[in-house]
Structure 1
């Protein structure tokens, strides 16, 4: 009799334990499923979006370079006077090709510069021109944005740029050459970096500037949304494509 009672008591104790074990098993299954979903999402973000974006960029670049004046692979004549004016283009249309010699062999150093900064523009592995900033080569601030992570990683290696490095925009007939002056890390709300005089809203510009903006962090968990990396450059000279090209891209086979 005592043994029977003990068995019943043990069974009653095992009942809640079985429920608890089943609950733990269910939670474990959910965590595994969630982990797989996150892994698939990260794969899509980091891998597939890059393939798709780079394919779009290559298509745009090919179409644009077909319209460019041939540029012989000799060093061209540097012009220090006012550069040719660049006419505004419509949203999503091509302004030129961004060439960053420092990125040669490291990341894409020849990408389309499109008008606008919407996701549909930047997701094409392109640099996007802030519509409310000055035109390329004009007095003021020609400000552009690009992804640092996903969708082509356009500005991924912005951290490599140092004072004195060239940033070039090639239009159909002209090379516009800027030289890096500095960089800083700012809050996303610090929009004064794209003012006509960066950091000094309301001040009338007297120089031709270029500003690159992108996410700061490369950490997957943060997605780089906590701060912005800003690189500033000052206009140095321009060249006619028909006369040659900047010395910094003479040996770059990827630049038209």
Structure 2
């Protein structure tokens, strides 16, 4: 009965809406397809060569107690872009010394830490410190020599120019000497002047026509920076006794730089306000710096009264040293008035 109803339902079901199926009834799943549609084969990327080395500016994390891995000898492989921008990369030592001087201390490019600096050998730090001190000392010595050999000459030239101007003015306004009275000796040709002031003009034909330094009064360090100095207490120019003059040989204008060239018979002319005194060299010698007997009225003969006018030049010896003194002695040969013109010794220049 039931089967017939089903068949009848099928026959009569053409174009007829069937009732809704029972939701509790499970429908059978369709069978899977027996054939799959064709698919494109997967694209496999080309193999990549593993890097042989790390760039020098990449830090590798390592355990704290791990030792650094030794690398084989030879230049490291660095990307071409890295080589173009990194001035510290120099595998073949082709960079100049100035470029290699700034290379970083390790391959990773990290600067030394304070602990690494403290671990450096003490000897290296001491050597570096001594080297810096020696370089500084060398610079100071060079500057000192420049000052002594050139700057002092410039300062002395300016001082001499001022002294010559003042001395010329003083001579132009010098009052006439008093007439002798018979009770006193002849008036002094050169009146006394203050320490450091101009006294006379020194001329030496052997040193050239332009050689004419102003002699100042005094032989202190300050006085000798101004020019050759007259030894206080000794005779004045042209007087009987010993007229002693000292001067620098290598600094402050080097007024006595060529004294060693003087020969026996060479003239030395001292110019004062109204006359010229011409001395002639008699001898020279090198003595100990403590030999003051060369400044006595009669050189090297203490207690002897002078009978002639003598001139003594003193300077350091050898050059650039104060170990000894070079002494040149001369004796007065001729006295002439300035109104009569230069003496023969200067006229022959």
Tell me the TM-score range normalised by the shorter chain: 0.7 to 0.9
Is contact 2:190-2:273 (8 Å) kept? Answer: no
1:86 to 183, 190, 196: 190
Distance 1:96 1:144 in 2: 11
Aligned to 2:271: 170
Aligned to 2:156: 53
Aligned to 1:116: 218
Aligned to 2:329: 232
Question: What is the CA-CA distance between 1:21 and the residue it aligns to?
Answer: 1.4
What's the Cα RMSD here?
Answer: 2.3
Report the secondary structure of 1:30's partner residue. Answer: helix
Gaps of 5+ in 1: 8-13, 70-81
Distance 2:348 2:189 in 1: 28
Q: How many residues align?
A: 223
CA 1:85/1:64 → structure 2, altered by over 3 Å: closer, same or farther? closer
1:150 to 225, 230, 251: 251
If asked which structure has higher relative contact order (CA below 8 Å, sep 6+), I would say 1
Aligned to 1:28: 131
Distance 2:304 2:119 in 1: 73
1:157-186 Cα deviation digits (max 9, x unpaired):
001111000111101110011000000000
Q: Which protein has the bigger strand share?
A: 1
Aligned to 2:34: none
Note if 1:19 corresponds to 2:122: yes
Distance 1:199 1:166 in 2: 22
Report the secondary structure of 2:213's partner residue. Answer: strand
Report the secondary structure of 1:110's partner residue. Answer: coil
Report the secondary structure of 1:179's partner residue. Answer: strand
Report the secondary structure of 1:162's partner residue. Answer: coil
Distance 1:225 1:205 in 2: 30
Gaps of 5+ in 2: 1-65, 71-116, 173-185
1:28-86 Cα deviation digits (max 9, x unpaired):
111011000111011111110110011101221133235557xxxxxxxxxxxx99633
Is contact 1:83-1:238 (8 Å) kept? Answer: no
Bigger radius of gyration: 2
Aligned to 2:285: 184
Distance 1:16 1:83 in 2: 84
